[in-house]
Amino acid sequence: MQILHLIRKESQTSFRSLIAMAAFSGITNALLLAIINSIIGEQNADDIGFKHFALFLSVVLSFYYSKKDILRRSTIIVEKVVSKLRLRLADKIRKSELAVIEGMGSANIYARITQDANYISQTAAYLINACQAAIMISACILYLAYLALPAFVIVLIAVALGFVYYMSKQKRIRSDIRLMFAKETKFFESLHEILAGIKELKLHHRKNESLFDEFSTLARETEAIKIRTGFHYVHNMTFSQLFFYLLIGSIIFILPKFGGLPDGSSARIVTALLFIVGPMESLVGSVQLFTKANAAAQNIEKLEGELEKGSGIAYPTDPLNVKPPEFNDKITFRQLLFEYEAEASHAAFCTGPVDLQVNKGEILFIIGGNGSGKSTLLKLIAGLYIPLGGIIDIDGRQIGTFDYPSYRELFSSIFTDFHLFTFLYGVQVQRPELVARLLQLLDLDHKTSFADGRFSNLNLSTGQRKRLAIIAALIEDKPILIFDEVAADQDPEFKKFFYEHLLPELKDQGKTVIAVSHDDNFFHAADRIVKMDFGRMVDYPSASNP
């Protein structure tokens, strides 16, 4: 099973002692059966004394403490494995290339790290119970051989036939569970759409109803698959119970007619079979959970494989001390080319080949229509996308694949889908008074404050959040700033301040600013302007861009 392989591979604990303890627990359970049967076999109640009670109690306590120990240890092992998996996946996510993460989709990644990891986490107790139950059933069947060989043969054949029948149903169940996982991932994507777009849905009832119809359809389809797999589980559970009761009936009513049982052995055999019923139900009942955990383990290993293939470049061995390369004159981009993966209904969008030069201390505007490739070009410039072709060099020194981690340290960025972190991770603020000045300068001091590495309030309007993102970017004090339409959603006063006061001040500080802008009234603030159109850079003649 994939889940067992995963736990064995990820755990650094030896399973020998755990398996030995599980075997001991199962054997003590079977021994308990033998003690009960021996007591039942006593003809005189007076012959049942303290030694019988002491033996019974010692076996019960041995069973109790051994099972408690293996459940405790297995829980520790599985939870350590799940924690290790989550940390490693998160580590690979942060080290993977942006295009790979965007292609996977956040709902798929969330489902693997949360839902699938939880399925694995839930297997600990069931896994050990199943192991202990299997050992106990095996011991009880061997005990039947001691009581009556014909009963042993019948039970062994019956269990084998039941196992074959049960496994014949598993292929369909595994297929349904894989389908269930796929539907649940789409279900989470649809739920994310409702949460992320709640404002828009409130303003558009048809959109609201249409999205909810899709959400409801996914919910019903997931429900149908879960009910179907649940029916398989119910069928298997009730079938196993019926199977054993019929087996008991055949031994009580049929086998004695053929003289197949020693005198007085029927009661002991029935007791042994009744002892098997509970563990068998536990074993059968855990199979569905194992199947889900198995599919979850396959999903996680698949995700990890995709992340490994998409790692792209080597992550720095000493990330806390990565230094940006020297940037004294210019960065030259020659024949940069990037292409998104094609979708079923759309051809791949290609950006480039692009030839561009960015000079130190200049203000460069990138303009163009929606979908023209402006944001893609920004990501190529910042090294967030690895180009399929082309060369980047700084002051004549070419940037190789292994140079990207240090190259990216040149940039602070605010993209249209920017994220405001609750804490300024990795940034040491030496001058809190500078942050206070920036808050006042960008008219945010009445909305939030800065202390202990975090802003007191992030519940702001879209425009205010962008201004706060500008402050966070300025605090990083990187040589190159990338602004993707940061002046959008701002009032005219702030736009004027941004273009005519903030950008010139940044230039005076020696900063290089690369900004996507649609504000043609302020194009004069740029030293140069380049225009993107259908993924290509086209001529844009202007007074400021000869």
Mean pLDDT of 404-417: 90
pLDDT at 124: 65
Contact (CB, 8 A) for 132 and 29: yes
pLDDT at 304 exceeding the cut of 90: no
pLDDT at 462: 87
Which residues 6+ apart lie within 8 Å of 277 measured at CB? 241, 244
* C-alpha gyration radius of the chain: 34
Greatest mean pLDDT range, 70-79, 304-313, 406-415, 532-541:
406-415
- Strand 450-451 to 397-398 pairing: unpaired
The answer to which of 255-264, 506-515, 521-530 has the lowest mean pLDDT is 255-264
Residue with tokens 């092992």: 77
Contact (CB, 8 A) for 476 and 438: no
Q: Burial of 189 by CB count in 10 Å (0-12 exposed, 13-18 middle, 19+ buried)?
A: middle
Specify the CATH architecture of the domain 319-538: 3-Layer(aba) Sandwich (3.40)
pLDDT at 46 exceeding the cut of 60: no
Greatest mean pLDDT range, 167-181, 317-331, 417-431, 516-530:
516-530
- Whole-angstrom Cα distance, residue 484 to residue 478? 16
pLDDT at 545: 47
Q: What is the DSSP letter of 542?
A: B
pLDDT at 507: 94
Q: What is the pLDDT of residues 432-455, one digit of tens each?
A: 888 889 999 999 989 999 888 888
- Whole-angstrom Cα distance, residue 457 to residue 443? 14
pLDDT at 484: 93
pLDDT tier, 398 (very low <50, low <70, confident <90, very high otherwise)? very high
Mean pLDDT of 279-308: 80
pLDDT at 309 exceeding the cut of 90: no
- Where do the structural domains in the chain lie, given as residue ranges? 2-309, 319-538
pLDDT tier, 467 (very low <50, low <70, confident <90, very high otherwise)? very high
pLDDT tier, 336 (very low <50, low <70, confident <90, very high otherwise)? very high
- Whole-angstrom Cα distance, residue 256 to residue 279? 26
- Whole-angstrom Cα distance, residue 86 to residue 118? 11
Residue with tokens 């929606």: 370
CB count, 10 Å around CB of 484? 20
Max distance between CA atoms of the chain, in angstroms, equals: 115
pLDDT at 428: 81
Contact (CB, 8 A) for 31 and 275: no
pLDDT at 8 exceeding the cut of 80: no
What average pLDDT is seen over the chain? 82
pLDDT at 44 exceeding the cut of 70: no
pLDDT at 311: 64
Residues listed for the chain: 546
pLDDT at 543: 43
pLDDT tier, 333 (very low <50, low <70, confident <90, very high otherwise)? very high
Report residue 192: phi and psi, to 5°.
-60, -40
Mean pLDDT of 96-109: 82
pLDDT at 471: 92
- CATH fold, domain 2-309, is ABC transporter transmembrane region fold (1.20.1560)
Please give the model's pTM, rounded to 2 decimal places.
0.72
Q: What is the pLDDT of residues 151-207, one digit of tens each?
A: 788 888 887 877 777 777 767 777 887 788 788 778 877 887 887 777 777 777 788
Q: 3-state DSSP call for residue 516?
A: strand
Give me the sign of the Cα torsion angle 398, 400, 402, 403.
Answer: positive
pLDDT at 109: 85
Q: What is the pLDDT of residues 252-276, one digit of tens each?
A: 777 777 666 666 667 777 777 777 7
Report residue 259: phi and psi, to 5°.
65, 30
Greatest mean pLDDT range, 12-21, 215-224, 294-303, 374-383:
374-383
CB count, 10 Å around CB of 456? 10
- What percentage of the chain exceeds 70 in pLDDT? 91
Q: What is the pLDDT of residues 113-153, one digit of tens each?
A: 888 888 888 776 677 777 777 887 888 888 888 877 887 88
- Whole-angstrom Cα distance, residue 521 to residue 139? 86
Q: Do domains 2-309 and 319-538 have the same CATH topology?
A: no
